[in-house]
Amino acid sequence: MKPALKALPPSEWRIMYMLWRHGPLTVAEVHKLSPDHNLTTVATFLKRLAAKGYLTTTLERSSPAGGRPPERFYPRVDYAEGLELVVHEFLADYLFSDPAGLAYLVDTAQQRLESVGKALPAAEGDDAHLSKPS
């Protein structure tokens, strides 16, 4: 059973997004995709995400460099569920059901969708494995 999930802060969201986008990864693989964080920081993020119920781990069969085999981190939460938590928290924390704020959010989202839509044909398959909210 998954623990009750809370929305993630941006730094952890970025790490989860890498796992949703690229599939199960080791600490070293995440670090390679996120060079602005040192290896220890990446490991800390991944351990926190596992403790929060967002990830599960398995040990690799062997280590490429010998020694202890690396852990591979797998998402336990899909993209749509994670996104739903973030959106609900944002709406509660920043908009307080204010009609003007919600209208501005809808207008801004529509503009962003239109600009992304123009770029979609070139990048259509890039995020095909991310489950989208329905």
> Cβ of 28: how many Cβ atoms within 10 Å?
13
Pick the closest to residue 87 from 133, 24, 52, 56 (CA basis).
Answer: 133
Residue 132: predicted pLDDT: 45
Of residues 16, 83, 1, 28, the one with CA closest to residue 54: 16
| Of the ranges 57-61, 77-81, 90-94, 112-116, the best mean pLDDT one | 77-81
Q: What is the pLDDT of residues 101-120, one digit of tens each?
A: 989 999 999 999 888 887 66
Cα–Cα distance measured from residue 134 to residue 131, given in angstroms and rounded to the nearest whole number: 9
Query: Mean pLDDT throughout 54-76?
Result: 85
Predicted pLDDT at 61: 78
Residues 36-61: tens digit of each pLDDT:
999 999 999 999 999 999 999 998 77
Please classify residue 34 by burial: count the beta carbons closer than 10 Å to its beta carbon, then call 0-12 exposed, 13-18 middle and 19+ buried: middle
Is 80 within 8 Å of 132 (Cβ atoms)?
yes
Contacts of 129 (CB under 8 A, 6+ apart): 20, 21, 23
Note the pLDDT of residue 125: 52
| Average pLDDT value for the chain | 85
Q: Where are the domains of the chain?
A: 10-77, 80-122
Whether the per-residue pLDDT at 127 is higher than 90: the answer is: no
The third-level CATH classification (topology) of the domain covering 10-77 is Arc Repressor Mutant, subunit A (1.10.10)
Residue type at 118? K
pLDDT at 1: 47
126 confidence band (pLDDT: 50, 70, 90): low
